[in-house]
Structures are given as C-alpha cells and as structure tokens.
Amino acid sequence: MYVDLAQQLARRHVSEIATKILDGSIDPIEGCRTLLRFRENAMLDSSAFDVICAIESETDDYPVGSVRDKYSLSFLSCMDREVQQYLSDVRQSLVEACNQLIKDVEQKNNKGKNL
C-alpha cells in the first residue's frame, strides 16, 4: 500500500515530539505548538489533538525561546508563575493526550504494515 511520505514523516514527528513532552526533554508548550504543525499532514483523526490544541490556544500568549529576550523580567516572572500553575493543572490531560498520540501512530503504522 502506498503511504504518502509527508504523512509518514508527520506521524513520526508527532510520535517523537509526544515522547519528548512526556520525558521532559522539550518544553510542553513548545511541544504542543510543534505538534499542531503536523496535525494536518499526520491525518490521525485523534481526539488527543483537541487537548493539545486547547492547551496551545490557552497558552499562546506565553513567550517561549529566544523571543523571551524581548520581554521584561518582571513580566516573564509573572507569566512563568501563572503558566507553570496552569500546566500543572492540565498535566494529567497532556500526558494522556501524548500517550494517545503515540498509540495512534503505532496503530496506524501497524495497520500499514499488515496491509
């Protein structure tokens, strides 16, 4: 069966990023933002993306990476506190969503192999 290369790559990225969020090697917000970039191409039709989408939308005003240099320390300290609290509140949902995405990718890959 022909599997679109872009779709295959996107699924691999989804799985890798979800794993990185779980093991803490990537900032969860940055991870959510990156995951959503692969949502369309991955074509997983997973409800887990709704959770990722919601967390990303709720934290899209939070500066991540080099752009933080452009913000004042007092603002960053205030935002860091607020967002860390939010992330700890949604941590369980995020973990479940990442596990679900990894599982969905595995299932799709296995289905492809069987065909």
Q: Which stretch binds another protein (CB under 8 A): 9-17, 22-30, 46-54, 73-81?
A: 46-54
Query: Site map for another protein, 5-24, x if CB under 8 A?
Result: --------------------
| Interaction between residue 81 and another protein (CB under 8 A) | no
Owner of token pair 């973990």: 95
Chain centroid offset of residue 101 CA: 9
| Interaction between residue 4 and another protein (CB under 8 A) | no
Tokens for 12, please give them.
């691999």
Burial 1-17 (b: 16+ CB within 10 A, else e): eeeeeebeebbebbbeb
Out of 9, 25, 50, 110, which residue is the one contacting another protein (CB under 8 A)? 50
| Interaction between residue 106 and another protein (CB under 8 A) | no
Owner of token pair 């595995």: 106
Rounded to whole angstroms, the Cα distance separating 98 from 42 reads 14
Q: Which residues bind another protein (CB under 8 A)?
A: 36-37, 39-40, 50-51, 53-55, 57-60, 82, 86, 89-90, 93, 96-97
